[in-house]
Amino acid sequence: MGGDPVSREPVTHDDVVRAAETIRGRARRTPLLDGSALAAGLSLKAELFQHTGSFKVRGVVNRLAALDSNERERGVAGASAGNHAIALAWGAAAEGLGCIVFSWSSASTFKLDRARALGAEVDVEADDPSAAFARLDEHLAETGRVLVHPFDDPLVMAGQGTVGLEVLEDAPSTDVIVVPVGGGGLVAGIAAAVAPRGVRVIGVEPEDAASLDLALGAGEPVAITPQTRAGGLDAPYAGRNALAVCRAAGVEVLRVSDDAIEEAMRRVYADAKLACEPAGAAAVAAALDGRIAGEHVVAVVSGGNVGGETASAILAGS
């Protein structure tokens, strides 16, 4: 698969604990909010309040902290529909690193413009996610820049997993955490953090961008052509490292429609007063449709980066 990082040992709870120490004071500790206006027993982990508006900062900070002096001189590169691009640009700017991100022509202009404003070079010559990862591979081979993978680097995954540690610190009685899934880094990191505590982890994917569900069925990553209006959940495959963690931790996957995601976004806006993006509402969509049983369910609201025109159209039901 394009942009594959070097595989390491599977991410563990201890890796996530170390990541929490690394990112402390650099990434925000986001609040766990009452979501009972949406569903009984529901809480919302508000990652849209993170630096740059999504959980992605956690993994970027943890990965950049591991760079040596030679790697810092070479600069960093990644591929992204937007949120990883913004986070990588922010992290690179804070540490004075060169940064380029490969995206695709239909990706969110709003998100990519934010990455550019933070100093990243953004390449949108690719027509789709798979082509963007291919362009990233070519660039890495030509330049020697350091890959900061959007979802399948173990250090990135461990950083994302700190979401799960915070959930259990704030609500030890949590029995289910529901997580939006693109390439699987967030759900795998959270699973590594909380599965040893007996917490059930459920990943949520769009019906026509179900890379993790397909990979779990096949036992290996499956290349897909994602079709979804929830930008950020349109990874072209689930990561190999993420898949290994999800299989070991017994992560379950539910699919939801784009219509259900957009309805959940409207509900989150109206009832929880959170201005999330469509991808950020995916876990809530699953929590609202009656398929998840649990006394205390936490849905991760993963991000809030959405352009005004897109947001207003969805909120208006159009």
Catalytic residue selected from 80, 103, 108, 302: 302
Q: What is the DSSP letter of 301?
A: E
Provide CB contacts within 8 A for 40, sequence distance 6+: none
The helix or strand, by DSSP H or E, that contains position 208, with its residue range, turns out to be: none
- Please, what is the Cα angle at 136 between 76 and 63, to 5 degrees? 35
Give the residue from 268, 153, 279 showing the smallest Cα distance to 209.
279
Q: Is 302 a catalytic residue?
A: yes
- What is the identity of the amino acid at 17? V
Residue 118 to residues 46, 62, 208, 276: CA-CA distances in angstroms? 23, 19, 32, 21
Per-residue tokens: 4: 């594959």
Per-residue tokens: 267: 């509900």
Q: Is 56 a catalytic residue?
A: yes
Instruction: Give the strand order in the sheet containing 32-34.
Output: 32-34, 42-46, 297-301, 176-180, 200-206, 252-256
Catalytic residue selected from 43, 54, 56, 80: 56
- Cα–Cα distance for residue pair 131/223, rounded to 1 Å: 12
- What is the identity of the amino acid at 141? A
Give the residue from 209, 196, 198, 206 showing the smallest Cα distance to 265.
206
- Cα–Cα distance for residue pair 179/286, rounded to 1 Å: 9
203 within 8 A of 185, measured Cβ to Cβ: no
Catalytic residues: 56, 302
